[in-house]
Amino acid sequence: MKPALVETWIQQLTTSPPSPPSPPPKRKRSYGTATINMGVSSPPPSNPGDSALVDPDTTPRVSHQASKRRRFDLSARPITFDNLDRDDDASSARSKSRQSASTATSDSRSRLSRSPTKNMGSLELADRPVRRVRAARKEDLPDDVADLFFSIRDAREGRATIPREALPTVLEALTILDPSPATDAAFDQIPWSYIPSLDAHLELKCVQKIVRNTIECAAENVSEASWNSRVHEYILDTALEPFDGIVSHWDVTRAPITKSCLPRHSSGLALEGKMVDFCICLGGRETTRAVQKRLKLAPETPFINHTNYQPLLYRPIAVSIESKTPNGSDEVAKTQLSVWVTGHFARLRSLSRTSNDAIAVGVTLPLLIVRGGEWSLWFARDTGDGIDLIETISVGNTNSILGCYKVLAMLRHLAEWAKSTLYPWMEKHILLDGNSTAGPT
């Protein structure tokens, strides 16, 4: 060795010891955001000049300097508890994604199990196609509703719609925008068989309120629900209030068609169910008793209609009503009514003693479409291989006093038909009491 190197080495050994060595850097731990250095790094490169100061033959000794042992350093992407949390979240997200995909697939299959019903064209492909028919001749009308139609047509013309005792007050209330009443608009005797009395002046006040509400709803462009509550519900109450529960109306906007009565596509899939807004129903004590007696024979389906909605369990539906705003779609209204009445016919067919899949239900069902204040009359007839949706007339608009009286007359004619025609048919074919001749009480 060179003497200079030896001397330098001896001096280093004889000098005072250095301060205690600092501990090697510990792994950083944190339970929040601390980094755990677990990576492996190579030792720092040595200085080429230092090799001259070190004798390769000497025994290695522990240096008082910081240890150069391998340290774990993942500076590129330190592992932290946050990262672990994020990894767990990512794993959970992937799991949820797989579950969501599975659920979406299941929902998709569920949706695919129902054939969408977008318009009347969809119903032409049903196993019982719905065909739109326009009644142009008397022969186009089914026999069981022919008299009903002509009575309502007379009401549309304004005949026998205003109580004579209220006529002077009605004439005073008319505006310059109202047409003149028909010469035979007034009547002396109640034309509906079981209305015991009618307060004509109180009814006029109700009519005036309905007119005001109709005009306001049209001006404010309110929703369908507002039309129902402020106008349609009010005029139905006014029209049927004298019938004292024997014929009543119900809001059925939450009354779904039961699965067994849903119409089916020709492919075998059930069509998408539709709901309507109101139903006019038969009721009363005797009707309820007869319905319950019949339903005891079919305990698996303890309801008389094609829906198990509570108010309709024992009240046979006579007239179904679909409402829209003034700008609402006629096509949608007809589609909803068509699906609804197809389900209704299916239920009547299943309850009838003499019917099967090849035999038509032998009763015609009246339908009403209301757009804003305008009321239109339709009929549905089961033909065995399909259903005819029969268009007839627009009856009246509740935006005028005379129009309100026309609609009131129409609704009362429909209530009378339900009592005099529909109930006897049900007694004979469904309620199993064909010997009875009395109407609902």
Spatial separation of the C-alpha atoms in residues 214 and 176, rounded to whole Å: 18
| pTM for this entry | 0.73
The domain segmentation of the chain, as residue ranges, is 28-42+70-112, 122-429
Helix 401-417 × helix 143-156 angle, to 10°: 160
Structure confidence at residue 32 (pLDDT) = 45
pLDDT value at residue 64:
45
54-106 pLDDT, tens digit per residue, is: 444 444 444 444 444 444 444 444 444 444 444 444 445 454 444 444 443 33
CA distance 95 to 154: 68
So what's the pLDDT on residue 61?
44
Share of the chain above pLDDT 90, in %: 54
pLDDT, position 244: 83
As a whole number of angstroms, the distance between CA 340 and CA 128 comes to: 13
User: DSSP readout, 29-91?
Assistant: --SSS-EE-----PPPPPPGGGGGGS-TTSPP---SSPP--------SS-EEHHHHHHHHHHH
The set of residues, in sequence order, having a beta carbon less than 8 Å from that of 234 and lying 6+ positions away, is 206, 209, 210, 213
Asked if 186 and 167 count as a contact pair (C-beta separation under 8 A), the reply is yes
| Residue pair 189/433 in contact by the 8 Å Cβ criterion | no
- Show the low-confidence residues of the chain (pLDDT under 50): 28, 30-91, 93, 95-112, 355, 358, 434-438
Residue written as token pair 């259903």: 387
- Alpha helices per DSSP H over 113-195: 120-123, 143-156, 167-173
Q: Report pLDDT for 413.
A: 96
Q: How far apart are CA 194 and CA 206, in angstroms?
A: 21
How many CB atoms within 10 Å of residue 375? 25
392, two tokens: 């007839």
**pLDDT given at position 84:** 42
Residues 326, 370: contact at Cβ < 8 Å? no
Cα–Cα distance for residue pair 437/183, rounded to 1 Å: 37
Q: Residue 342: which of 419, 261, 435 has the closest Cα?
A: 261
Q: Which two tokens stand for residue 231?
A: 């106008």
User: Are 432 and 294 spatial neighbours (Cβ–Cβ below 8 Å)?
Assistant: yes
The greatest distance separating any two alpha carbons of the chain, rounded to the nearest whole angstrom, comes to 146
- Pairing of the two strands 130-134 and 278-282: unpaired
For residue 26, count other CB atoms closer than 10 A to its CB.
7
